[in-house]
């Protein structure tokens, strides 16, 4: 039986990965900040370590007793935690799977459409705002040279009900809540910007396959379909009996979701292909329509 440590295990992605691993008889341990979640996690068969990702001694101890680490907790922009994990894993030949985010594909298009689809072999030249995220990804991948089986997964817009403690994703529920406040479906600028997307269970299955099959130093983009933000807004209007979807200016997105969320989360394009995961890992996602899960 393989032993896996998961950070962000009380979160949407981490909790769903944990459930998939438990179903395959892995021993799962979660690093949790809040003691309030311990009993609930342990009732699911998950072991717990109380602490946070910025305690280097704790990380070193936690890593020593497992075969693999799947790092989800606020991970995409936190270079400090990544460095601590890599330092703790150096020379161990253990697996480190790192969760990034697909805003790295964004061009700050302010609601305009882009037809470009990113693939893993295309060298990224990110905007300034996302440059550190790409540097972190590369640092993780290069840690294969420190005898770590390092893997990066880049999820796109994730939808569907989580299997762990946290049931909801981030982007779609945020748009629904904002739309309900406004009384109509909301998109920004032209709303023609497109995000690739995938179902949470398909994503969690990809993590399991990466854990079992991926070569060290591999990065995988994760998607199984795409939709424009205007289309999502129109579906929200219909489903929640709101007025017809309307455009708001970009500044409203920034004011409500912060600059990263406004410019990149809701007004940029984030389009990629997951053919590499399908080919190398024999990943076979099942769900292909975000419209059915809004």
Question: Residue-wise pLDDT tens for the chain (294 aa)?
Answer: 699 999 999 999 999 999 999 999 999 999 999 899 999 999 999 999 999 999 999 999 999 999 999 999 987 899 999 999 999 999 999 999 999 999 999 999 999 999 999 999 999 999 999 999 999 999 999 999 999 999 999 999 999 999 999 999 999 999 999 999 999 999 999 999 999 999 999 999 999 999 999 999 999 999 999 999 999 999 999 999 999 999 999 999 999 999 999 999 999 999 999 999 999 999 999 999 999 999
3-state secondary structure of 201: helix
**Cα dihedral sign for 273, 187, 237, 160?**
positive
For the chain, give the number of residues: 294
Q: Provide the token pair at 286.
A: 């099942």
**CA-wise closest residue to 110 among 178, 197, 188:** 188
Query: Would you give the distance in Å from CA 146 to the centre of its chain?
Result: 25
150 DSSP β-pair partners = 96
Q: What is the pTM of this model?
A: 0.97
Which helix (H) or strand (E) segment holds residue 197: the answer is strand 194-199
Domain boundaries, the chain: 3-108+117-159+199-224
CATH number, domain 3-108+117-159+199-224? 3.40.50.720
Please state, as a whole number, how many other Cβ atoms lie within 10 Å of the Cβ of residue 244.
10
Mark 115-142 as b/e (b = at least 16 C-beta within 10 Å): eebbebeeeeebbebbeebbebbebbbe
3-state secondary structure of 4: strand
**CA-wise closest residue to 141 among 155, 159, 154, 128:** 154
**Exposed, middle or buried by CB within 10 Å (0-12, 13-18, 19+), for 282?**
exposed
Query: Would you give the distance in Å from CA 32 to the centre of its chain?
Result: 18
What pLDDT does 1 receive? 65
Question: At CA 285, angle to CA 263 and CA 4, rounded to 5?
Answer: 85
- Looking at residue 265, the DSSP 8-state letter turns out to be I
Q: Provide the token pair at 207.
A: 């993590």
What pLDDT does 16 receive? 98
């Amino acid at each position: 039986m393989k032993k896996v440590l998961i950070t962000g295990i009380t979160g949407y992605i981490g909790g769903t990965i944990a459930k998939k691993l438990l179903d395959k008889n892995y021993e799962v341990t979660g690093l949790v900040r809040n003691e309030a979640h311990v009993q609930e996690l342990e009732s699911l068969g998950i072991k717990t370590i109380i602490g946070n990702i910025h305690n280097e001694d704790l990380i070193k101890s936690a890593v020593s007793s497992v075969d693999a680490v799947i790092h989800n907790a606020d991970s995409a922009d936190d270079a400090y935690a990544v460095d601590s994990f890599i330092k703790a894993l150096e020379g161990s030949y253990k697996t480190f799977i790192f969760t990034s985010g697909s805003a790295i594909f964004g061009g700050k298009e302010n609601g305009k459409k882009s037809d470009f689809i990113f693939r893993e072999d295309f060298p990224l030249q990110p905007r300034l705002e996302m440059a550190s995220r790409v540097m972190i990804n590369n640092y993780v991948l290069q840690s294969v040279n420190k005898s770590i089986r390092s893997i990066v997964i880049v999820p796109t817009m994730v939808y569907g009900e989580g299997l762990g403690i946290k049931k909801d994703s981030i982007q779609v529920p945020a748009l629904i809540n904002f739309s309900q406040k406004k009384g109509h479906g909301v998109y920004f600028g032209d709303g023609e910007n497109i995000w690739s997307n995938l179902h949470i269970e398909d994503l969690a299955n990809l993590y399991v396959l990466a854990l079992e099959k991926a070569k060290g130093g591999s990065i995988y983009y994760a998607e199984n379909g795409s939709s424009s933000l205007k289309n999502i807004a129109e579906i929200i209007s219909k489903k929640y009996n709101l007025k017809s979807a309307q455009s708001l200016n970009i500044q409203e997105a920034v004011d409500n979701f912060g600059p990263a969320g406004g410019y990149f989360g809701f007004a940029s394009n984030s389009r990629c292909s997951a053919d590499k995961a399908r080919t190398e890992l024999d990943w076979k996602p099942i769900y292909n329509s975000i419209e059915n899960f809004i």
